[in-house]
Amino acid sequence: MIAMVLSYHSASAEIFKCIGKDSKTVYQAKPCQTSDKAVQLDIQANEGQESAAKARLQALESEQDAAKVARQEAERRDAMLKNQTESTNALKQSAIAQQQQVEAEQRQAAALERQAQQNNNRVMIVAPPTALPVMPAPVTTQILR
């Protein structure tokens, strides 16, 4: 109840319309001091208009919040798509590198096979050197007399 009373009093305020010597109109909360014309305005709050304005404000804030959430969701999707694209590119590069490695190994295997075939055509078997059997020295016997 006290809050309603305080809000009612705060809704109505004194506003002074001051017209200066240079013909400029100024609205202020204090009485005019040095003006040719001073008019006190009594402004009463229209609760119907005020509640409608608050409802419009809340609707606009809700729209803004929804747009912010949608923008954040779009940014999240974009970041996820970017990560997926980068992952896909990395996998492609890895696959290319692996394919190049396989091709290099195949070339190396083919070269080794060619070399083996060439070596098979020129096979020369060399027996390892063997030592001649050592003959025992002739045995001489002397008869003692």
Q: Alpha-carbon distance 63 to 73, whole Å?
A: 15
pLDDT tens, residue by residue, 31-56 = 777 655 666 666 666 788 888 888 89
Q: Is the pLDDT of residue 7 over 90?
A: no
More confident residue, 14 or 139: 14
Cβ neighbours of residue 26 closer than 8 Å, sequence gap 6 or more: 17, 18, 19, 20
55 — phi, psi (to 5°)? Answer: -65, -45
Question: pLDDT tens-digit profile of 52-95?
Answer: 888 899 999 999 999 999 999 999 999 999 999 999 999 999 99
**What's the pLDDT score for residue 9?**
46
Measured from the Cβ of residue 38, the count of other Cβ atoms closer than 10 Å reads 13
Query: Nearest-5° angle of CA 111, CA 115, CA 121?
Result: 150
For residues 21 and 38, the answer to whether their CB atoms sit within 8 Å is: no
More confident residue, 130 or 117: 117
